[in-house]
Chains A and B, each alone.
Chain A
Amino acid sequence: MAEQKSRRDFLNLLLGGGTLATLGAILYPTIKYITPPASGEANVTQLKLAFKRSDIEADPKKAKTFKFGRDLGIILITDTGELRALAARCTHLDCTVQNRPDLGILWCACHNGRYDYSGRNISGPPPRPLEQFAVNVVGEDIFVSREKA
Chain B
Amino acid sequence: MPTTTGTKPPSTLGQKSFQWLDDRFHIKALVDYMSDKSVPRHGRSIWYYFGGISLFLFIVQVVTGILLLMYYRPGADSAYESVRFIVSEVSFGWLIRALHSWSANLMIFAVFIHMFSVYFEYSYRKPRELTWVSGIVLFGLALTFGFSGYLLPWNELAFFATRVGTGMAGAVPVIGENLLVIMRGGEEVTGATIGRFFGLHVAILPAIFTVVLTAHLVFIQRQGMSEPIDWTDKPESEKKYIKFFPNFLLRDLLVWLIVLNILAVLAVFLPDGIGLIHWPLGTKADPFAPPPPVIRPEWYFMFAFQALKFLPAHLFGLEGELVGIGAFTLGGLIWALAPFLNTKAHRGKPSTPFTLFGILVLLFMIGMTIAGYILE
Contact = CB atoms under 8 A, between A and B. Distances in A.
Interface string B25-37: 0000000000000
* Most A Cβ at <10 Å: residue of B289, B290, B295, B309: B290
Nearest to B171: A93
B355 to A, nearest CB: 33
A125 B291 contact: no
A18 interface: no
A36 B163 CA distance: 17
Contact of A92 (B288, B294, B321): B321
Interface residues of A, number: 27
Contacts of B185: 36
A98 B290 contact: yes
Interface in B269-296: 287-295
Given A36-B192, A125-B313, A125-B320, A94 B290 contact: no
A7 interface: no
A98 B168 CA distance: 20
Contacts of B288: 65-67, 72
Interface in B84-120: none
Main DSSP-derived SS at the A contact region: loop
Contacts of A72: 287-288
Contact of B321 (A39, A93, A96, A121): A93
Contacts of B358: none
Contacts of B291: 95-96, 98, 109-110
B205 interface: no
Contacts of B255: none
Interface in A79-96: 92-96
Interface string B172-197: 00000010011001111000100000
Interface string B295-312: 100000000000011011
A95 B313 contact: no
A126 interface: yes
B53 to A, nearest CB: 34
A121 to B, nearest CB: 7
A95 B293 contact: no
B148 interface: no
B309 A97 contact: no
A93 B313 contact: no
13 contacts: A34-B182, A39-B187, A61-B290, A93-B167, A96-B291, A98-B290, A109-B290, A109-B292, A109-B293, A124-B313, A125-B311, A125-B312, A126-B313
